Amino acid sequence: MKKDVLIKFGQKVREERLKRKLSQEEFADIAGVHRTYIGMIERAEKNITLENIEKIAKAFNFNIKNLF
């Protein structure tokens, strides 16, 4: 069973990425992570590290707290 926090985080990432009309690959390039990693986060398949949360927040020009 997937943890709620991973599901909610992945949904937030997908929602923000789509607002910017970016593909997973485009967003991954901006965030500095592998393209498949974004998909895994959005599908709650990956327990993301704090370092990568920071990369994603910076790519959205967010404070980390805005992702939660």
Q: Tell me 33's DSSP state.
A: S
State residue 16's pLDDT score.
96
pLDDT of residue 1: 56
pTM comes to 0.88
pLDDT at residue 2, as a whole number: 66
Contact 67, 12 (CB under 8 A): yes
- Give me the domains of the chain, ranges plus CATH numbers: 4-62 (1.10.260.40)
Question: What integer pLDDT is reported at residue 67 of this predicted model?
Answer: 83
CB 32 within 8 A of CB 63: no
C-alpha to C-alpha distance for 42 and 39, rounded to whole angstroms? 5
- Residue 38 burial by CB count (10 A; 0-12/13-18/19+): exposed, middle or buried? buried
How far is it, in rounded angstroms, from Cα 14 to Cα 8?
A: 10
Give the model confidence (pLDDT) of 19-61 as tens digits.
999 999 999 999 999 999 999 999 999 999 999 999 999 999 9
